[in-house]
């Protein structure tokens, strides 16, 4: 079914915006029993603002739309439950006095998204992922980034470091503040092995 901009979806959007952000919205179309008659009075045509150039009045399609907030998983054979796609880094920061903690945000067959927090002087041990790329996005702090073969680069907030499959990477926090970064390893089965700095 084709719905024009004069159909029910503008009303649905207004209703949907009234929902709280935690609710899940499902749009349901219902067929009217009868289509309301079109207004043919020329006076009322002039009063009603044109919806689009060339239209004198709004047309109805004979459908109404309502929004249902639900946790329903299947409607019309389609999974309507939406996974969250927005995450807050601060919710995943896990400071530790021992080894830095690998705080998993999301792990799938395609990738692993992890937040790391290293106190000043703490180290993310040098390692490799034989079958995947590891991309670090630095949120705060500074660190010496191990690249293998004794090579070291300086990372700071806002930097992105990419280690391709088999490339050595790790870091030592050299700043007076926590070194926080988001690591995205792709694919999810990239493997892991310790390596020399």
**Together in a domain, 169 and 120:** yes
75 in the same domain as 20 = yes
Answer yes or no: is 34 within a domain: yes
Q: Which domain holds residue 167?
A: 89-194
* Residues 100 and 59 placed together within one structural domain of the fold: no
How much is the pLDDT for 84? 85
Nearest to 180 by CA among 107, 91, 98: 91
Predicted pLDDT at 167: 98
Say whether pTM exceeds 0.85: no
Q: Which of 71, 60, 61, 76 is nearest to 28 (CA)?
A: 76
60 domain-assigned:
yes
Within this chain, do residues 45 and 117 fall inside the same structural domain, yes or no? no
The token duo for 16 is 């949907």
- Find tokens 């004979």 and name the residue: 62
Helix (H, G, I), strand (E, B) or coil at 190: coil
Same domain? 43 vs 128: no
Are 95 and 190 members of one domain? yes
List per-residue pLDDT tens for the chain, 197 residues long. Answer: 444 444 443 333 333 344 433 333 334 444 444 445 555 555 554 444 444 454 444 444 444 444 433 333 444 444 556 678 999 999 999 999 999 999 999 999 999 999 999 999 999 999 999 999 999 999 999 999 999 999 999 999 999 999 999 999 999 999 999 999 999 999 999 999 999 99
Cα separation, 60 vs 14, whole angstroms: 18
> Domain count of the chain?
2
Q: Helix, strand, or coil here: 13?
A: helix
CATH code (residue 157): 2.60.120.10
Domain boundary among 60, 79, 98: 79
Element (H, E) at 172: strand 169-173
Phi/psi region, residue 172 (left: phi>0; alpha: psi -120 to 50; beta: rest), is beta
């Amino acid at each position: 079914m084709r719905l024009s901009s004069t159909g029910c979806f503008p009303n649905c959007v207004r209703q949907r915006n009234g929902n709280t952000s935690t609710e899940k919205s499902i749009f349901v179309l219902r067929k009217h029993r009868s289509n309301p008659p079109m207004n043919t009075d020329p006076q009322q045509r002039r009063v009603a603002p044109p919806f689009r150039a060339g239209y004198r009045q709004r047309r109805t399609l004979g459908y109404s739309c309502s929004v249902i907030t639900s946790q329903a998983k299947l409607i019309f054979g389609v999974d309507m439950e939406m996974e969250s796609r927005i995450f807050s880094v601060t919710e995943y920061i896990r400071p530790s006095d021992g080894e830095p903690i690998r705080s998993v945000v999301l792990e799938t067959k395609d990738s692993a998204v992890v937040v790391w927090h290293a106190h000043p002087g703490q180290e993310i041990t040098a390692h490799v992922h034989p079958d995947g790329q590891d991309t670090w996005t630095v949120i705060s702090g500074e660190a010496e980034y191990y690249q293998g073969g004794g090579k070291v680069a300086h990372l700071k907030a806002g930097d992105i470091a990419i280690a391709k499959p088999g490339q050595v990477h790790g870091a030592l926090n050299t700043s007076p503040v926590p070194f926080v970064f988001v690591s995205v390893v792709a694919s999810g089965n990239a493997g892991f092995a310790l390596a020399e700095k």
